[in-house]
């Protein structure tokens, strides 16, 4: 029997869709929501469910950035055939995304038992939410916001790609928070930092969802809740992406920093009094 009902899948899909690309930690919010609903966090079907519904959010990113992705892929294919095309920024950017994804894949496979075991604790989530807030605050203040998307390099992509490992190991740190903060420290503009975070997240998150699909279904995660959660995640994530890009064009990340600190402190309190465990 599945550990997650249809109703719970709708709630978790909405949580995933809202938080996947915002720098507030989707994994952390999913763990909190699961804890509040009494869903066992160490159940393998629950772990798989959380990874699979990410595919809905990633599909939303693929649709939203479809024209950009198609342009980059076409440039990459042309560059494989024509040496002259290899000087094009889009061709190089495609290779940068591939190279920058390799570190998180290697760490994810090597540290999977640790990630799904001790590091899955809500205590880790609460601490990571607050620690990540400090990093975001410092990055937003120190970054000079002077470089656009066309100014990115392989060095930028590798630093930003490797920063995803922080969120992988410490749920609550936030993948988008880590990548955006790193991009800001490299002096990228907020919109450029956000878009780079999206492009580097698509391969890693898609791979994680596909990798977990077999285990999620095989370990007892019912197809119905998986499908519902994924569809809800897609719809909510699409709206979330559109809102975030408009928001960062006009505002700093300070509101996200404050929100993360409040959620982390609240979670510490709920854990302390035994409301969640």
Neighbouring residues of 125: CB distance < 8 A, sequence distance ≥ 6 = 25, 27, 28, 31, 32, 171, 172, 267
Indicate whether 251 pLDDT > 80: yes
Report the candidate in 5, 40, 45, 3 with the shortest Cα–Cα distance to residue 214: 45
Strand partners, 147: 188
pLDDT, position 51 = 78
Indicate whether 17 pLDDT > 90: yes
Neighbouring residues of 203: CB distance < 8 A, sequence distance ≥ 6 = 97, 98, 101
Query: Tens of pLDDT along 66-111?
Result: 999 999 999 999 999 998 889 899 999 999 999 999 999 999 889 8
The per-residue pLDDT of the chain, averaged, comes to 89
Query: Tens of pLDDT along 192-208?
Result: 999 999 999 888 888 87
Query: Tens of pLDDT along 68-77?
Result: 999 999 999 9
Element (H, E) at 173: none
Token pair recorded at residue 273: 């009094």
Neighbouring residues of 197: CB distance < 8 A, sequence distance ≥ 6 = 21, 160, 175, 176, 179, 180, 183
């Amino acid at each position: 029997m599945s550990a997650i009902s249809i109703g719970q899948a709708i709630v978790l899909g909405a949580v995933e869709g809202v938080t996947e690309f915002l720098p507030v930690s989707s994994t952390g919010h999913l763990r909190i929501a699961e804890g509040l609903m009494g869903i066992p966090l160490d159940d393998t079907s629950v772990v798989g469910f959380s990874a699979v519904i990410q595919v809905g959010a990633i599909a939303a990113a693929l649709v939203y950035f479809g024209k950009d992705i198609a342009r980059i892929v076409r440039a990459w294919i042309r560059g494989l055939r024509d040496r002259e095309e290899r000087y094009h920024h889009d061709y190089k950017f495609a290779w940068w995304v591939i190279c920058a994804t390799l570190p998180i894949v290697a760490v994810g496979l090597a540290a999977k038992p640790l990630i799904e075991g001790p590091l899955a604790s809500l205590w880790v989530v609460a601490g990571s939410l607050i620690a990540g807030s400090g990093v975001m605050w410092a990055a937003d203040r120190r970054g000079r916001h002077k470089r656009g998307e066309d100014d990115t390099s392989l060095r930028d992509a590798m630093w930003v790609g490797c920063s995803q490992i922080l969120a992988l190991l410490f749920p609550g740190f936030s993948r988008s928070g880590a990548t955006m903060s790193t991009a800001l420290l490299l002096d990228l503009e907020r919109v450029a930092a956000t878009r780079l975070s999206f492009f580097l997240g698509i391969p890693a998150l898609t791979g994680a969802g596909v990798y977990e699909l077999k285990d999620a279904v095989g370990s007892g995660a019912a197809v119905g809740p998986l499908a519902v959660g994924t569809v809800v995640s897609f719809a909510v994530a699409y709206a979330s992406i559109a809102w975030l890009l408009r928001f960062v064009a006009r505002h700093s990340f300070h509101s996200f920093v404050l929100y993360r600190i409040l959620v982390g402190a609240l979670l510490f309190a709920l854990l302390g009094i035994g409301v969640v465990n």
